[in-house]
Structure 1
Amino acid sequence: MTDAFRGQAVTGPERTPIARVSQGALRRNAHVAASAGVDRYDSRLLRGDAWGHGVSAVSEVLRDAGFVRNDPEDDTHVPPSDDRVLDAVAVFGLTGAPLGTAPVMSLRGAVLATKTLRVGEGVSYGYLFRAAIDTRIALVTGGYAQGVVRSLGNAADVALAGRRLPIIGRVAMDVCVVDIADAEVQRGDEVVFFGDPARGEPSLTQWRDATGFSEAELVTAVGLHANRRVVE
């Protein structure tokens, strides 16, 4: 719990951020690959619970799209050429994916409370952030226990109230703080940590650059630790 919000309980189902896995985006990405002549997928694509996206959801889409599983550890099998094996970056819509694909996973939290922060006041452990001017802040669900890496504090934005707003201070276990300034924000509003840049949502590239982790590591951590939900 951040010092600026000490004494305010973090309770209820909204406490846990949601890692949304879009089956629609997964199907579209698989179709783009199939249209390019890809017809198989490496079994390693399903490791780490399919990179945090969920083995059952991913396997179902690949099966319905007609992809054949190729096990690289089976040395009796002659592997197909690389251009016929599904690329994880392409199917999950990570940076560098082909045109026409989209990110499959997004991470969404919620505003728990808002508060005025006066000039000179600090937030979170160690007061890594102190307000240069009077401003307003929001306590939002999502911390390092759900894959929101601690080094994202003072280094990444979220989408909230139709704007891009910065995470400030040190990310806590289950929550973090966002500087909302004069944005119209209230309890329960959705916060998007990352998603589809085509919809104005933050990209995972910002997380990658701020943390030093690969996008594969980031989505896997989020998918395994946040409350994952498969949506259309």
Structure 2
Amino acid sequence: MTAPQAEAVIDLDAFGANLEALAACAPSSAQMTVVKADAYGHGMVPMARAARAAGTDWLGVATLAEALALRESGDTGDLLCWLAAPGADYAAAVEADVEVTASSTDQLAEILAAAPRRPRVQLKVDTGLSRNGALGREWTALVAAAAAAQAAGRVEVTGIWSHFACADEPAHPANDAQEAVFVAAVDELTAAGIEPGLRHLCNSPATLTRPSAHFDMVRVGIAAYGIRPDPGMTYETPLTPVLTLRGRLAQVKRIPAGAKVSYGQTWTAERDTTVGLVPLGYGEGIAVSASNRAEVLAAGARVPLVGRVCMDQFVVDLGERSARRGDAVVLFGPGHDGEPTAEDWATASGTIAYEVVTRLGGRIVRTYEGGA
């Protein structure tokens, strides 16, 4: 069978090993594997199944639509979602045994009004990210509303959680401050007569470096896929990038010195050279900002991307290396064979590795290898 011309190969054995290594970082805490945004570009349903097979306790997604898609795929385990605008279909979520998040008194009221039966709700406190979650007096009001609703049998509060802003900088003073605010919020919830249930604050970097904040559960996202939360972070936990992005050369040809390449003619050949056409472009999520900056592994070596990235394709300079139409090109992977990594592409694109993998789509075929 001919290999796809644009393919993301996902190593489920590496994924399982990453989850095991992350669980060892927080051995007394439950583990939530975050599979939002199509599992960071890896494919939500297959990665959710692999996470369950690897023994993860919870799955986490951002939207109700993602949660319901997991239920429709057959997932029946513990599942939390946390991001919803007014008018979200809480009734469907509650019927599907999805735990939802209330970040304000208005949101809690909307959940209670829509739910066909007593919903299971986790409360989110804003500890300093200033994104979602209840802050200050609004947290106090949310706690009071939740306590009244629970006393009336209208809701079951199952957890309290928040999110670090600077955990990828372990020494940042915001981490201590946020943890202290979180502990105070838990105390306030307990004082109102609500058993806190699951307390969770840690994202991937805090799971790796901040055991004091592991509490009852840790949420592992980008690290589960083998990508460092920040290129500057150091830790001993072994993690392997799960996704290899590759294509096949659609054309190979010689061009003369002085020939200009791609839209805008932003690159000029300084010598006679061989160029190869790679059939992936910004339609697949390849950043235009990587133009003239990124590298790929082709013809046994790392070679430069030259000219502007187009919607469907980009060009690489093969020099005098021998290559033919159909030969494999690796854009990024674990780096074990000399290929660039997602971090390398992030540097070339002026972004973060999260975005490099999450934006992948278009005509890329996902292939899954290994796993249970």
TM-score by length of 2: 0.55
1:93 equivalent among 212, 226, 231:
226
Aligned-residue offset at 1:100: 2.1
What is the alpha-carbon distance in structure 1 between the residues aligned to residue 30 and residue 54 of structure 2?
9
Aligned-residue offset at 1:119: 0.9
1:48 paired with 2:37, answer: yes
Match of 1:7 in 2: none
1:174 paired with 2:307, answer: no
Match of 2:149 in 1: none
Q: Aligned with 1:29: secondary structure?
A: helix
Aligned-residue offset at 1:31: 1.4
Distance 1:126 1:81, change over 3 A: closer
Q: Aligned with 1:180: secondary structure?
A: strand
Distance 1:117 1:99, change over 3 A: farther
Aligned-residue offset at 1:124: 0.7
- What is the aligned length? 218
Aligned-residue offset at 1:188: 0.7
Q: Aligned with 1:154: secondary structure?
A: coil
What is the alpha-carbon distance in structure 2 between the residues aligned to residue 223 and residue 91 of structure 1?
20
Distance 1:67 1:134, change over 3 A: same
1:123 equivalent among 246, 261, 283:
261
What is the alpha-carbon distance in structure 1 between the residues aligned to residue 220 and residue 242 of structure 2?
14
Match of 1:220 in 2: 358
Aligned-residue offset at 1:61: 2.1
1:31 paired with 2:23, answer: no
Aligned-residue offset at 1:223: 4.6
Q: Aligned with 1:228: secondary structure?
A: strand
Match of 2:276 in 1: 138
Match of 2:199 in 1: 79
What is the alpha-carbon distance in structure 2 between the residues aligned to residue 152 and residue 48 of structure 1?
22
Match of 2:56 in 1: 67
Q: Aligned with 1:151: secondary structure?
A: helix
1:158 paired with 2:296, answer: yes
What is the alpha-carbon distance in structure 1 between the residues aligned to residue 220 and residue 30 of structure 2?
11
Q: Deviations over 1:57-99 (max 9, x none)?
A: 2212221222221636222213246334142132111135754
Aligned-residue offset at 1:127: 0.6
Which consecutive residues of structure 1, in runs of 5 or more, have no partner in the other structure?
1-12
> Given residue 151 of structure 1, which amino acid in structure 2 is its aligned partner?
S
Q: Aligned with 2:35: secondary structure?
A: helix
What is the alpha-carbon distance in structure 2 between the residues aligned to residue 20 and residue 53 of structure 1?
9
Match of 2:335 in 1: 197
Q: Aligned with 1:198: secondary structure?
A: coil
What is the alpha-carbon distance in structure 2 between the residues aligned to residue 106 and residue 223 of structure 1?
14
What is the alpha-carbon distance in structure 1 between the residues aligned to residue 236 and residue 17 of structure 2?
11
TM-score by length of 1: 0.85
> Given residue 143 of structure 1, which amino acid in structure 2 is its aligned partner?
G
Please provide the CA RMSD for this pair: 2.1
